[in-house]
Amino acid sequence: MMIQTRIFRWVTLVFMLMVSFHLQAQETLDLKKCIEIALEQNIAVRKAGLNTEKSGLNLQKSKASLLPNLNAYASQGYSFGNSLDYTTYEYVREKINSNYFQLNSEVTLFQGFSKINTVKANQYALEANIHSNQNMKDQIALQTAAAYLAILMNLENVAFMEEQIKLTKSMLEKTKILVEVGQETKAKELELNAELANNEYNLVEVQNKLEQSYLDLKQLLNWDMKKPLSISKYAVDMMSLGNYENIDIESIINQYVSELPQMKQAKAELESAQYAYKAAKGLMYPSLSLQGNLTTRYSSLKNPLTGQITPFSEQLDNNFGQYFTFGLSIPLFNNLNTYGNTQAARLNIRNAELNYRESEVKAKNNIYEAWFNLKNAINKYESAVKSQEAQKLLFEQSSVMYQEGVISYYEWQSARNGLTRAENTLLGAKYECVYRMKVFDYYRGIDISL
């Protein structure tokens, strides 16, 4: 008996641990966490990050090009037959073992400031890449918020339809009893059966929409489709989402349009194009360089005076030479390559200017559109609230009148259907309003959150 009790306790403990682990594994994600996962797992964002790293490497290379280079050279040679004796400058016929060593360095002192301007062009190119990545992240965050809100809306829709089915079933059971005692007609029972079937059909539809909204969010998060996804079920309070009255849209545009990532990207691309043009134009100027060399050599030829081979270290010291040279290169004609590159860089500036203007127009239009959509959503929500309140009062009054026998079942049912439609409309209007608020907040530099 004691053994069975111990076994039961161990099984119970293992079961509780497994349940606890399972519950912990199913982490509930809020909107902030969903956005973090989407940005971490999104392949496009990760590829854009690699492009940013590549731009950083280009900047690093251009900075390093300002430094002197340093190269070493060494050779080992064997010669047979006639060889030149560098000590007497006479040809001798011997087998000779020789070494040659060289260390050289070169630095560009002036090249029309081409290298410096290339560094600045790459700095702005990197900055443009960073802002491009941020813009992509912002769009993914908005998409994630839309998918998240769709789940919340569909969850409420499912709960609403389940409540409707529950009420219809309750009425159907009561009606069946009344039909049996002759106080209601069979037609009313059939009407309620049809209504129940219609409600169940509507429930299947909203459940399918809920599954689709979960699928959309999983795709944005790059989530394993086989794993369940649990999100925090916020009770969205419209009163706590902020005040959007008395907004001066022109002031918002003037204040925030230049702060948008797409505008910063376009501005940085224009700056990069301007410095790239200066770098290309700088190659048309003469370039001045400084070069230095250290050389030495060794030969196994015997010294004709002593008949001995001079020691290796002594030869390296005796043959050690140093020289520095200044070089001036004047570009006269190189098949119009420099001219062509300069003109192409000039065209890139014009293209970047047009892109900047286009981005500015789009950014302003996007803010106007976001504000227009938000105003419409707020108006729709306020109208939906009034409609729902009116339909609720009508339904309550109709219920009293129906119980008193003043109106028919069909009139009562019409009032109930009107309330159902009004509540569905209000639900959709509420979540559309919340989403439009989040989009408009984004253009005002406010983090996307609930």
Q: Are residues 258 and 295 in the same domain?
A: no
- Residue 184, pLDDT score: 79
Percent of the chain whose predicted confidence (pLDDT) is above 70: 89
Residue 251 has pLDDT above 50, yes or no: yes
Residue 137 has pLDDT above 90, yes or no: yes
- Residue 305, pLDDT score: 67
User: Is the residue at 450 inside a domain?
Assistant: no
Q: Are residues 314 and 425 in the same domain?
A: no
Tokens 């030495």 belong to residue: 296
Q: Are residues 186 and 235 in the same domain?
A: yes
Q: Are residues 259 and 310 in the same domain?
A: no
- Residue 449, pLDDT score: 79
- CB count within 10 Å of CB 34 equals 23
**How many domains, in total, are found in the chain?**
2
Structural domain including 354 reads 29-67+111-285+331-443
Q: Are residues 135 and 242 in the same domain?
A: yes
Q: What is the DSSP letter of 92?
A: E
User: Is the residue at 106 inside a domain?
Assistant: yes
Q: Are residues 99 and 204 in the same domain?
A: no
- CB count within 10 Å of CB 227 equals 9
User: Is the residue at 322 inside a domain?
Assistant: yes
Q: Are residues 293 and 348 in the same domain?
A: no
Q: What is the DSSP letter of 65?
A: T
Q: Are residues 99 and 167 in the same domain?
A: no
Residue 24 has pLDDT above 60, yes or no: no
| Domain finish residue from 311, 330, 349 | 330
pLDDT band at residue 448 using 50, 70 and 90 as cut-offs = confident
Tell how far CA 265 is from the center of its chain: 14
Q: Are residues 139 and 97 in the same domain?
A: no
Q: Are residues 276 and 136 in the same domain?
A: yes
- CB count within 10 Å of CB 151 equals 21
User: Is the residue at 402 inside a domain?
Assistant: yes
pLDDT band at residue 240 using 50, 70 and 90 as cut-offs = low
Residue 26 has pLDDT above 60, yes or no: no
Average pLDDT over residues 87-91: 65
User: Is the residue at 17 inside a domain?
Assistant: no
Average pLDDT over residues 234-247: 69
User: Is the residue at 183 inside a domain?
Assistant: yes
Tokens standing for residue 312: 């290796």
Q: Are residues 170 and 310 in the same domain?
A: no
Q: Are residues 314 and 199 in the same domain?
A: no
Average pLDDT over residues 37-41: 92
| Domain finish residue from 304, 330, 356 | 330
pLDDT in tens, 206-233: 999 999 999 999 999 999 888 998 988 8
pLDDT in tens, 140-193: 999 999 999 999 999 999 999 999 999 889 888 988 888 888 877 888 888 889
pLDDT band at residue 308 using 50, 70 and 90 as cut-offs = confident
pLDDT band at residue 15 using 50, 70 and 90 as cut-offs = very low
The secondary structure element, H or E, covering residue 289 is: strand 287-299
- CATH code (residue 144): 1.20.1600.10
- Residue 377, pLDDT score: 92
pLDDT in tens, 267-292: 999 999 999 999 999 989 999 999 99
Tokens standing for residue 193: 């059966």
User: Is the residue at 23 inside a domain?
Assistant: no
Residue 392 has pLDDT above 70, yes or no: yes
Whole-model pTM? 0.81
User: Is the residue at 20 inside a domain?
Assistant: no
